[in-house]
Amino acid sequence: MAIDLDKCTGCGACAIACAQENNMPIFEDDSDIPKRVSFLELMKVTNDRDAKYPDVEVCYIPKMCQQCEGNDPKNPKPPCVSVCPVVATDVGDDGIVSQVWSRCIGCRYCQASCPYEARAFNWWKPRYEGDFKNSLNPEVSIASRGTVVKCQFCSHIWKRERDRAVENGVLDINAVTYTPACVASCPTKAFVFGDLNDPDSELCRLLEKEKDRKFRLVHTIDEKDEKTREKLMHIKNFPNPKVYYLTSKAWIREMMRFK
Amino acid sequence: MGKLIGYIKQYIAFVKKEFNGYSKNVKIAIYVMLFFTAGFFVFGIQILFWGLGYTDMSNFYPFGQWIIGDLGLVGLGGGAFTTGFLLYIFRNDKLEPLISSTVLIGFLCYLFTFVFLVFDIGQPIRAFFIYMYPNWGPGLMPASMLTEVAWCLTFYFLILCVELTPVVLKHKVLDAIPVLKYIGHYLHRLMWIFAAGGTFLSFFHQGSLGGGMWDVMYGKASWFRAHHIYFFVVIILATAGGTAFMTLCAYVAGKVMKKEVVPKETFNSIAKVSGVMFVVYFAARLADVILMGTSWVPLFDRSYLSNLGGYYGLWMIVLEFIFIAGAIVLLLVKKFREDEKTFRLGIISGVMVMLTTKLHVVLNGSSVPNFPWKDFIGYNPTIQEWFIMLGGLSIMALIYMWFVKYTPLFPHVEQHGHHEGEAKAAE
């Protein structure tokens, strides 16, 4: 996935579409952000908190699970998968880091190990008041209290599209395409979704074209030359996320580095 | 039915009589502990039935007080395997008078690790999944450190149950039954096998819960260490801090009972072991801190010092090293070790090393921001978390007191003709 931050207006449609598509519960106090359950968080970043107009710059970064794969894409090792004591989370052949709510025991080890704070825990019992019950998506299971949930790139839509393709006689799995809810809802087309393994996909072409604008969240190893990168990757795994961000603003890229 | 009520009445009268025999201070301590115990049950029910929303943990701070309790209890309980190993394998017979007490403390520490874990996981009813669907990975190496922790803890806990059986069987009612008496006697003779097995298992889970669980998190600059360095550092700490805790418990029991519960040479011997292990731990922890600063944290393009900001940062590491120095000097220098006041300070320092390091690992590690534009997070445990924690510790203390009073936990007291229990001594 690629997200063009220069196009993002911070409208939050992606977060709402995600919540609706994935049956996000609504709690009595949803302003309690640290305990809120959401797959997609819209992070507000400013160049300087004390700056005033016109020097202040603001950027909204839509952040969901970055679908990390570790150093070796052929043998993916996201930081959250190997730590799970009950195999409730795994990486599929499609490269999506999945989570089985009904297997999760709620130890939150995956949450602690995630460098992107992408996982949410159901601190309270998920509730769907009144008419909300009628709008629940039957393709996404409802999580119990005390389990960890996360963005799975709306993989249920992919499964639906795959089944539909099979019904129509298309058996080539790579021919199946789909659009996650956040991507479909973006009014400025800031999101581009596709197959990173397919060099002809729109996503790959975009990332190739926008080499100078692309970066990944707090992933400073990308800025190093290939030799240093290889050396570092011998010492430890790096998350190597599959979500890219695009921007031409230098200060946003600057914000990705710890001082 | 009437007979049963009679028995109950008789028992209540017995408990009342026993309780009235205690000194004022012991009575106050028991009242306080019973208060926390009541809170443990009330808030425990609330957490189990209504969820972890009542804690101050959050999606940004997923590990809290109970995990610190788990790490601390397992670390301190590590004194049981060290003492067992020294006594049964190294044949350090001076430790014999202390062994029953260490086994009991080890048992309680591990038992309450499980209890705190039950509260800490979101779905306690699914806890058996850890045995049913373990994340082993290929071969014998577990993929998840928590899988290894759970399995090793379980097996070691079973070993502690067996090790504790002879102590329980020495209760005067059970000791009167010949079969149980023989079982207790022969179990005691087989104890070296369990001590060896316990040491083997303890090495793994001490390392994996205290260290390995944290150093594998390669996405987190506050915890990651390459080559599992922290795994080994923590094993050394368990042997050092654990033995100090075992000594402290026996020392406090002796003070409350106003008796010599173990001979001075036993304290001397175990304190020396603790002191030597603290020297090793000092070197290991120093190497760990230096490597964190020079090698591991810079891999994230961050500085170790900047990670040590927030509420639980640098001062905790400094404090830990002060306690380490205190434990080494006070437990290794003969003059200080033999003086009661400095000896007491030494073992307290040893226990404090364990406490500060566990607090630092969890509190600082969780509070370090993941994004440059975010700040350090604070954690303020709620009343539910405090009561469950303190209530759990109170129940442990009450069980320990029961054993001290009704079983020959300290055979040295018996051998020297002191048969009156805590009650009379406290009068």
Taking only the tens place, the pLDDT of each residue in B327-359 is: 999 999 999 999 999 999 999 999 999 999 999
* pLDDT at residue number A132: 84
- In B, minimum Cα distance to A69 occurs at B219
DSSP state of A120: E
Check CB contact under 8 Å for A43 and B120. Answer: no
Interface test with A, best of B119, B361, B366, B371 (most A CBs within 10 A): B371
Percent of chain B scoring above 70 in pLDDT: 97
The average confidence (pLDDT) of chain A is 92
Check CB contact under 8 Å for A236 and B299. Answer: yes
Interface test with A, best of B123, B125, B141, B362 (most A CBs within 10 A): B123
What distance in Å separates the CA atoms of residue B259 and residue B370, rounded to the nearest whole number? Answer: 53
C-beta neighbour count of B417 within 10 angstroms = 7
Instruction: Yes or no: say if B98 and B83 are a contact pair by the CB < 8 Å rule.
Output: yes
Partners of A259 on chain B (C-beta within 8 Å) are 306, 372
Check CB contact under 8 Å for A124 and B130. Answer: no
pLDDT at B419 over 60: no
B31-72 pLDDT, tens digit each: 999 999 999 999 999 999 999 999 999 999 999 999 999 999
Can you tell me whether residue A59 is helix, strand or coil?
strand
E strand or H helix that includes residue B246: helix B229-257
Q: CA dihedral in degrees (A30, A32, A33, A38; nearest 10)?
A: -40
Instruction: Yes or no: say if B66 and B385 are a contact pair by the CB < 8 Å rule.
Output: yes
Q: What are phi and psi of A193, to 5 degrees?
A: -120, 140
User: Residues B309, B313, B317, B323: is their CA dihedral positive or negative?
Assistant: positive
Greatest alpha-carbon span in chain B: 76
Check CB contact under 8 Å for A105 and B130. Answer: yes
Nearest by CB to A232, which of B62, B299, B372? B299
Alpha carbon of A167: minimum distance to chain B alpha carbons (Å): 34
Contact status of A101 with chain B (Cβ, < 8 Å): no
Check CB contact under 8 Å for A116 and B370. Answer: yes
Which chain A residues in 154-213 lie under 8 Å from chain B, judged by CB atoms? none
Query: B426: buried, middle or exposed (CB in 10 Å: 19+, 13-18, 0-12)?
Result: middle
Check CB contact under 8 Å for B219 and A119. Answer: no
Contact status of B309 with chain A (Cβ, < 8 Å): no
pLDDT at B417 over 70: no
> In which band, very low, low, confident or very high, does the pLDDT at B257 lie, cut at 50, 70 and 90?
confident
Size of interface A-B (CB pairs under 8 A): 158
> How far out from the chain centre does Cα A218 lie?
14
Contact status of A231 with chain B (Cβ, < 8 Å): no
C-beta neighbour count of B289 within 10 angstroms = 16
Q: How many residues does chain B have?
A: 427
What distance in Å separates the CA atoms of residue A122 and residue B204, rounded to the nearest whole number? Answer: 32
* pLDDT at residue number B201: 86
pLDDT at B219 over 90: yes
* pLDDT at residue number B425: 41
Nearest Cα residue to B311 out of B350, B355, B388, B369: B369
Nearest by CB to A125, which of B51, B127, B303? B51
Of all residues in chain A, what percent are helix, strand and coil, respectively (each to 5)? 30, 10, 60
Which chain B residues in 336-375 lie under 8 Å from chain A, judged by CB atoms? 366, 370-373
Task: Take residue A130 and report the two structure tokens written for it.
Answer: 């009144």
Partners of B57 on chain A (C-beta within 8 Å) are 108, 123
What is the arithmetic mean of pLDDT over A71-92? 93
Check CB contact under 8 Å for B122 and A119. Answer: no
What distance in Å separates the CA atoms of residue B325 and residue B347, rounded to the nearest whole number? Answer: 12
Instruction: Yes or no: say if B257 and B26 are a contact pair by the CB < 8 Å rule.
Output: no
Overall pTM > 0.90: yes
Q: Which domains does chain A have, with CATH numbers?
A: 2-255 (3.30.70.20)
Question: What per-residue string of b and e applies to A210-231 under the rule 16 or more CB within 10 Å gives b?
Answer: beebbbbbbbbbeeeeeeeeee
Contact status of B415 with chain A (Cβ, < 8 Å): no
Check CB contact under 8 Å for B301 and A257. Answer: yes
pLDDT at A234 over 70: yes
B264-314 pLDDT, tens digit each: 999 999 999 999 999 999 999 999 999 999 999 999 999 999 999 889 999
E strand or H helix that includes residue B116: helix B96-120
E strand or H helix that includes residue A89: strand A89-91
pLDDT at B422 over 50: no
A20-53 pLDDT, tens digit each: 999 998 877 777 888 999 999 999 999 887 788 8
Alpha helix (H) residue ranges in chain A:
13-21, 109-113, 155-167, 181-185, 202-209, 226-235, 250-255
Query: B350: buried, middle or exposed (CB in 10 Å: 19+, 13-18, 0-12)?
Result: buried
Q: Give me the helix-helix angle, B65-84 and B383-406, nearest 10°.
A: 20
Interface test with A, best of B56, B59, B291 (most A CBs within 10 A): B59
Alpha carbon of B284: minimum distance to chain A alpha carbons (Å): 21
A148-180 pLDDT, tens digit each: 999 999 999 999 999 999 999 988 877 788 999
How far apart, in Å, are the Cα atoms of B37 and each of A4, B33, B51, B288?
Answer: 56, 6, 20, 39
pLDDT at A208 over 60: yes
CA angle B226, A108, B111 (to 5 degrees): 90
How far apart, in Å, are the Cα atoms of B53 and each of A101, A102, A227, B50, B366?
Answer: 18, 19, 47, 8, 18
Partners of A43 on chain B (C-beta within 8 Å) are 371, 373
Partners of B52 on chain A (C-beta within 8 Å) are 106, 121, 123, 146
Q: Which CATH superfamily is B25-412 part of?
A: Formate dehydrogenase/DMSO reductase domain (1.20.1630.10)
Nearest by CB to A113, which of B120, B126, B219? B219
